[in-house]
């Protein structure tokens, strides 16, 4: 048995639960907000480009560690059940890949983030010059069309051990079953089948973990565009805190106006001037109909 035959056997025995979507209904917002600095707003308007940051360099990149900790717990729970010895070998081998550096060798993922809320203090503090920046409100429907044309992914994040961790558990159980069944069908092919099963596990982990965040971030109600570029020569770098940050450029459609519905400026001691400057900027960039709002959060000196 070669590696292709092993992978085919594993896939054929996993059933319909592997990589299944939850089917849960998530309320679809009409507008998704991206919090950014003054420089970020100017850059987006002038270039019509979104910067998607490498997920390992994001401010909340610890979410991957959180997701891996849930996966580790799932494997531990499965070990407590009565399983064939060959299935235990798969679980032990799979745990070796519950580390970001081993899970994503040679693969690079980039994300552009949105928030459902237009005026959230934690977002102003973290992403928008501590309130001196802007929340750009993008049209959800137009962003969805853009994502589909670019063959990217757009999805809402899930907070805490819920739907996606349950689906990950189902994925792993399906793989345990598939590995055990294929070993019975192909005696003596355990090594190549184990490699195929572990590769399938890695795909499942990548697929599920980018949706999961710690429940402490739940107020963000975050959505993401996720991209895995085939050409890494297009990766660019920007200044970060402590290290350079890799990113890629996502070109917005040039044939139409930018899909911006509204912009909220952060808490300001001069709200009228802040709104006036923003309206002027939008007119200069051919967006006179974009609504301008000001944060209602009190400015603290």
- pLDDT for 103 equals 76
Pairing label, strands 222-227, 31-36: unpaired
Cα 300 to the center of its chain, rounded Å:
32
Tokens of 33: 């907000």
CA distances from 281 to 35, 42, 48, 277 (A): 17, 9, 14, 6
Q: What residues pair up with 264 in beta bridges, in sequence order?
A: 135, 293
- pLDDT for 301 equals 46
Q: Is the CB of residue 152 less than 8 Å from the CB of residue 185?
A: no
**C-beta neighbour count of 188 within 10 angstroms:** 9
Provide CB contacts within 8 A for 199, sequence distance 6+. Answer: 7
CA atoms lying within 13 Å on the CB side of residue 145: 9
Cα 70 to the center of its chain, rounded Å:
17
- pLDDT for 291 equals 97
Give me the DSSP letters along 138-177. Answer: EEHHHHHHHHHHHT-EEEE-EESSSHHHHHHHHHHHHHHH
Q: Is the CB of residue 200 less than 8 Å from the CB of residue 131?
A: no
The answer to whether residue 132 scores a pLDDT higher than 70 is yes
Which pLDDT tens digit goes with each residue over 55-102? 888 866 566 777 788 888 888 888 888 778 888 888 888 888 887 777
**Extended beta strands in the chain, E state:** 31-36, 49-54, 110-115, 134-139, 153-156, 158-159, 212-213, 222-227, 236-238, 245-251, 260-265, 291-294
The answer to whether residue 135 scores a pLDDT higher than 80 is yes
The answer to whether residue 294 scores a pLDDT higher than 90 is yes
Cα–Cα nearest to 151, from 52, 212, 228: 228
d(CA 235, CA 272): 39
In percent, how much of the chain has pLDDT > 90? 46
Over the chain, what is the mean pLDDT?
Answer: 87
DSSP 273: H
CA distances from 272 to 135, 154, 213, 278 (A): 17, 35, 37, 10
């Amino acid at each position: 048995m070669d590696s292709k035959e092993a992978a085919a056997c594993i896939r054929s025995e996993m059933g319909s639960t592997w990589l299944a979507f939850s089917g849960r209904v998530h309320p679809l917002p009409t507008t998704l907000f991206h919090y950014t600095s003054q420089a970020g707003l100017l850059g987006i308007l002038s270039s019509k480009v979104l910067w998607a940051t490498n997920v390992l360099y994001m401010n909340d990149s610890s979410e991957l560690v959180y997701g891996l900790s849930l996966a580790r717990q799932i494997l531990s729970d499965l070990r407590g059940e009565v399983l064939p010895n060959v299935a235990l070998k798969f679980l032990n081998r799979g745990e070796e890949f519950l580390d970001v550096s081993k899970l994503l060798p040679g693969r690079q993922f980039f994300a552009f983030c949105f928030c459902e809320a237009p005026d959230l203090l934690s977002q102003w503090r973290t992403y928008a010059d501590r309130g001196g920046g802007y929340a750009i409100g993008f049209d959800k429907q137009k962003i969805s069309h853009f994502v589909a044309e670019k063959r990217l992914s757009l999805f809402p994040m899930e907070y805490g051990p819920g739907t996606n961790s349950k689906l990950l558990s189902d994925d792993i159980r399906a793989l345990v079953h598939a590995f055990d069944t294929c070993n019975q069908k192909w005696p003596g092919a355990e090594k190549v089948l184990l490699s195929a099963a572990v590769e399938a596990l890695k795909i499942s982990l990548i697929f599920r973990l980018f949706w999961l965040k710690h429940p402490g971030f739940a107020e963000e109600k975050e959505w993401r565009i996720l991209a895995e570029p085939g050409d890494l020569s297009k990766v660019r770098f920007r200044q970060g805190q402590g290290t350079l940050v890799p990113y890629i450029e996502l070109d917005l459609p040039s044939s139409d106006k930018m899909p911006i519905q509204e912009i909220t400026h952060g808490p300001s001691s001069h709200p009228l001037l802040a709104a006036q400057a923003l309206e002027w900027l939008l007119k200069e960039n051919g967006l006179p109909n974009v609504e301008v709002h000001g944060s209602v959060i009190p400015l603290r000196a």
